[in-house]
Amino acid sequence: GLPDPRTGREPYAVVQLRQEDRAAQMRNLVGFQTRMRIPEQRRVFAMIPGLEQAEFLRFGSIHRNTYLNAPATLTAHLSARDDERLLFAGQLVGVEGYTESLGTGLLCGINLARMLDGMPPALPPGETMLGALLAYVHTCDPVRFQPMNANFGLLPPLERPVRDKQRRKELLAERALAAMRGFSELVGADGADKADASVKMDGAVGATPR
C-alpha cells in the first residue's frame, strides 16, 4: 500500500492518474468505469483530495465487453466449429486480461502453423493456467458462460490437499511450470530459453488469484 504522507496511515483507496497527452495537460482516472450520471460524477470526483478544482474533460462510462459464446461456437483449440480455418483469440473468445489475451493469441499462432503443416492442433495441459482457462472457455455451460480472468480456482486440485494457502499456490505454480515445459517441447520451442519464457508467461497468468 501507499501511506498517506500527511498521516502515515494507508488510505482506504488510491486513485491512479495516467498521463493522456504528450503535453501532460490531461490525466486519466484509471479504472473509473461507472454508471453514475455526469452531474453526480462531477460532484463525487471533486471530493477526491487534489481534484477539487479539476476540470473534467470526459466522464466515465461502463465498458462494453463483446465476446463469442465460445462453448457453443468454438472448438477446444479456439477454431470455429463450422470452419477450423478460422481461429479466434483475445477477449473475443471470453478471456479477460492482457496476459490471458496474449496467451490465447500465441496459442492460435502455434496451432495455425501446425495445421498448415498437416499436424493436429496442440493444447497446453489442464494443469497450466492457460490450459485451465481454455478448458473453462470450452466446457462451460453455454447458457451461463461469462468471460473469465486467470485465477487459481481454475486449476485442478493437488493430489494431496494443502491447507496453507500460500504453499498451495506455490505447489500449483510448480506443477504448472513443469507441465508447460513439456508442452513447450511438444510444440517445438527452440531451446531452453524460449521454453522458460513460455513457462514464465504462463506463471504470470496464474499470478492473479481471485
Burial bucket for residue 18 (CB in 10 Å: 0-12, 13-18, 19+): exposed
Mapped onto helix, strand or coil, the DSSP state of residue 139 is helix
Give the tens place of pLDDT for each residue, 29-40.
Answer: 888 878 899 999
What integer pLDDT is reported at residue 191 of this predicted model?
Answer: 47
What integer pLDDT is reported at residue 52 of this predicted model?
Answer: 93
Q: Which CATH superfamily is domain 70-205 in?
A: FAD/NAD(P)-binding domain (3.50.50.60)
Q: Parse the chain into domains and list their residue ranges.
A: 1-64, 70-205
What integer pLDDT is reported at residue 189 of this predicted model?
Answer: 65
What letter would DSSP give residue 148? B
Helix axes 129-139, 191-205, angle to 10 degrees: 50
What integer pLDDT is reported at residue 88 of this predicted model?
Answer: 98
Strands 79-80 and 17-19: unpaired
What letter would DSSP give residue 74? B
Low-confidence ranges of the chain (pLDDT < 50): 190-210
Give the tens place of pLDDT for each residue, 102-116.
Answer: 999 999 999 999 999
What integer pLDDT is reported at residue 196 of this predicted model?
Answer: 46
Find, among 121, 128, 147, 95, the residue nearest to 201 by Cα.
Answer: 128
